[in-house]
């Protein structure tokens, strides 16, 4: 009996011949991300910016407009309201108050007492969070430290297990993923918070996982086919592992989709970031990590044909 296959057993796709297109479009996307990051910036959540977040469930469908009017007269600066997952569920964000920690605390009780005055006592405070300026700064520092040390640790591990070209190629792919993920947050305006940093670290982990599988096969094939030009060898390695890459990406995406759709509003942004990361990570293993090995002269010259063209390609 032949079983239905989602993914064919064997591939023979000329990935390396697409690498210029891939490099150029990746570079364009990276540039776009950086420009957006500079021009528009990120929509930082209270974890990093400090401020107040209150999620409140109203007995009936919430009157967002009148709530907004009522709260905007408190003189607390920017107050934004947003329906959160359900029409009776409202997310209130208040910008960081001047005057240190105590001012945040007072603003929280001010908002709560005003809501009770105007909208009765049937309110259910589902979440109250405030982050003072001090902690916000520390969380930013910790987040940056986490991502940078993750990149360094993984680079070191790859260096230890493979050759230096692999290590650089992997980090290039990881940087690509991190920048594009941050760019996605800049474009969509999704809130960038602690959970996002966690998502980025995971994307880094997932992407590297994928890259290692391809590299592992490259290393094996380097031993097996001593005379194959590097481009063909990379093509073969990617095609060898492609069915696995697709299988794993699809199962992970299935799980993440379930989480995104059914996991509740609190976790939805995190799931979305991860879904994006799986897509970008899979792409970068094939189109960034592998062709970087050509650029880095992994198999510079030797008995194989076409070695002359490799030098040309380094100027891409």
Partner 1 sequence: MLTFERWKITLVLIVALLGGVYAVPNFLARTTAESLPSWLPHKQINLGLDLQGGSHLLLEVDVAAVLAEQLETLVDEVRVVLRGAGIGYTGLGRSDEQVKLKLRDVTQSEATRPLLVEIDPSLEVKIYQDGSISIDVSAAARQERKVAVLSQSIEIVRRRIDETGTREPTIQRQGEDRILVQLPGIDDPERVKRLLGKTAKMNFKMVDEATPIEDALRGRVPPGSELLYMRDRLDDQAEARPIILRRRVSVSGDNLLDAQPTFQDNQPVVSLRFDNVGARKFGTLTKENVGKRFAIVLDGEVISAPVIREPIPGGSGIISGQFTVQSAQDLALLLRAGALPAPLTILEERTVGPSLGADSIAAGKIASVVGMALVIAYIIMSYGLFGVAAVLALTVNMALIVGLLSVLQATLTLPGIAGIVLTIGMAVDANVLIFERIREEVRNGRTPFSSVDIGFRQAFRTIIDANVTTLIAAVLLFQFGSGPVRGFAVTLGIGIATSLFTAIMFTRMLIVLWLQRVRPRTLPI
Task: For the segment 32-91, give every residue that binds partner 1 (CB under 8 A).
Answer: 55, 57
Size of the site for partner 1 (CB under 8 A): 81
Tell me if 279 contacts partner 1 by CB under 8 A. no
Nearer to partner 1, 42 or 214 (CB): 214
3-class DSSP assignment, residue 131:
strand
Count Cα neighbours of 206 within 13 Å in the Cβ-side half-sphere. Answer: 27
At residue 94's C-alpha, the angle toward residues 47 and 202, to 5°, is 25
Q: Which long-range contacts (CB under 8 A, 24 or more apart) does 30-37 make?
A: 30/176, 30/179, 30/180, 30/183, 32/183, 33/179, 33/180, 33/182, 33/183, 33/184, 33/186, 34/179, 34/183, 36/183, 36/186, 36/187, 37/182, 37/183, 37/186
Q: Min. distance of Cβ 3 from partner 1 in angstroms?
A: 5
Nearer to partner 1, 30 or 194 (CB): 194
Which pair of structure tokens corresponds to residue 110?
């001010």
Round to whole Å and give the CA distance between 274 and 120: 39
Task: For the segment 184-223, give every residue that binds partner 1 (CB under 8 A).
Answer: 194-195, 197-198, 201-202, 204-206, 208-210, 212-213, 216-217
Which pair of structure tokens corresponds to residue 52?
């107040």
At residue 212's C-alpha, the angle toward residues 209 and 217, to 5°, is 140
Q: Which residues contact residue 281 at a Cβ distance below 8 angstroms, ignoring those fewer than 6 apart? A: 173, 177, 203, 206, 207, 210
Q: Contact with partner 1 (CB under 8 A): which of 33, 181, 271, 282?
A: 271
Q: Min. distance of Cβ 244 from partner 1 in angstroms?
A: 4
Stretch that binds partner 1, among 33-41, 58-66, 97-105, 287-295 (CB under 8 A): 97-105
Q: Contact with partner 1 (CB under 8 A): which of 21, 61, 153, 187?
A: 153
Task: For the segment 101-140, give every residue that binds partner 1 (CB under 8 A).
Answer: 101-102, 105, 108-109, 112, 124-132, 134-135, 139
Nearer to partner 1, 241 or 310 (CB): 241
Q: Min. distance of Cβ 291 from partner 1 in angstroms?
A: 20
Q: Contact with partner 1 (CB under 8 A): which of 45, 51, 143, 183?
A: 143
Q: Min. distance of Cβ 189 from partner 1 in angstroms?
A: 22
Tell me if 175 contacts partner 1 by CB under 8 A. no
Task: For the segment 231-260, give every residue that binds partner 1 (CB under 8 A).
Answer: 240-241, 243-244, 247-248, 250-259
Question: Cα separations (Å) of 140 from 37, 47, 153, 194, 196?
Answer: 16, 8, 20, 9, 12
Q: Contact with partner 1 (CB under 8 A): which of 9, 12, 60, 98?
A: 9
Tell me if 294 contacts partner 1 by CB under 8 A. no
Tell me if 12 contacts partner 1 by CB under 8 A. no
Tell me if 224 contacts partner 1 by CB under 8 A. no
Nearer to partner 1, 32 or 105 (CB): 105
Other Cβ atoms closer than 10 A to 229:
19
Radius of gyration of the chain from its Cα atoms, rounded to whole angstroms: 25
Other Cβ atoms closer than 10 A to 117:
10
Which pair of structure tokens corresponds to residue 47?
């974890």
Tell me if 308 contacts partner 1 by CB under 8 A. no
Nearer to partner 1, 127 or 226 (CB): 127
Tell me if 10 contacts partner 1 by CB under 8 A. yes
DSSP at 150: H
């Amino acid at each position: 009996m032949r079983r239905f296959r989602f993914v064919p057993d064997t591939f023979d796709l000329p990935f390396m011949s697409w690498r210029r297109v891939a490099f150029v479009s990746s570079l364009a996307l990276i540039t776009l991300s950086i420009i957006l990051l500079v021009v528009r910036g990120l929509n930082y959540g209270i974890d990093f910016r400090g401020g107040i977040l209150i999620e409140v469930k109203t007995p009936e469908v919430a009157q967002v407009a009148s709530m907004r009017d009522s709260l905007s007269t408190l003189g607390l600066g920017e107050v934004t309201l947003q329906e959160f997952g359900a029409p009776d569920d409202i997310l209130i964000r208040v910008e960081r108050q001047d005057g240190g920690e105590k001012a945040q605390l007072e603003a929280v009780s001010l908002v709560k007492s005003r809501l009770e005055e105007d909208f009765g006592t049937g309110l259910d405070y589902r979440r109250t969070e405030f982050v003072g300026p001090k902690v916000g700064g520390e969380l930013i520092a910790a987040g940056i430290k986490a991502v940078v040390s993750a990149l360094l640790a993984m680079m070191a591990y790859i260096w230890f297990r493979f050759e230096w070209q692999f290590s650089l190629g992997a980090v290039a792919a990881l940087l690509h993923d991190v920048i594009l993920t941050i760019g996605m947050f800049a474009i969509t305006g999704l809130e960038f918070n602690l959970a996002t940093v966690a998502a980025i670290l995971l994307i880094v982990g997932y992407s590297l996982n994928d890259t290692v599988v391809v590299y592992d096969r490259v290393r094996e094939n380097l031993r097996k086919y001593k005379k194959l030009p590097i481009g063909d060898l990379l093509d073969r390695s990617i095609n060898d592992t492609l069915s696995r890459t697709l299988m794993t990406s699809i199962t992970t995406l299935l799980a993440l989709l379930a989480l995104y759709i059914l996991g509740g509003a609190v976790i939805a942004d995190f799931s979305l970031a991860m879904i994006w990361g799986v897509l970008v990570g899979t792409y970068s293993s094939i189109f960034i990590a592998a062709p970087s090995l050509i650029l880095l002269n992994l198999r510079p010259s030797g008995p194989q044909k076409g070695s002359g063209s490799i030098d040309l390609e380094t100027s891409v």
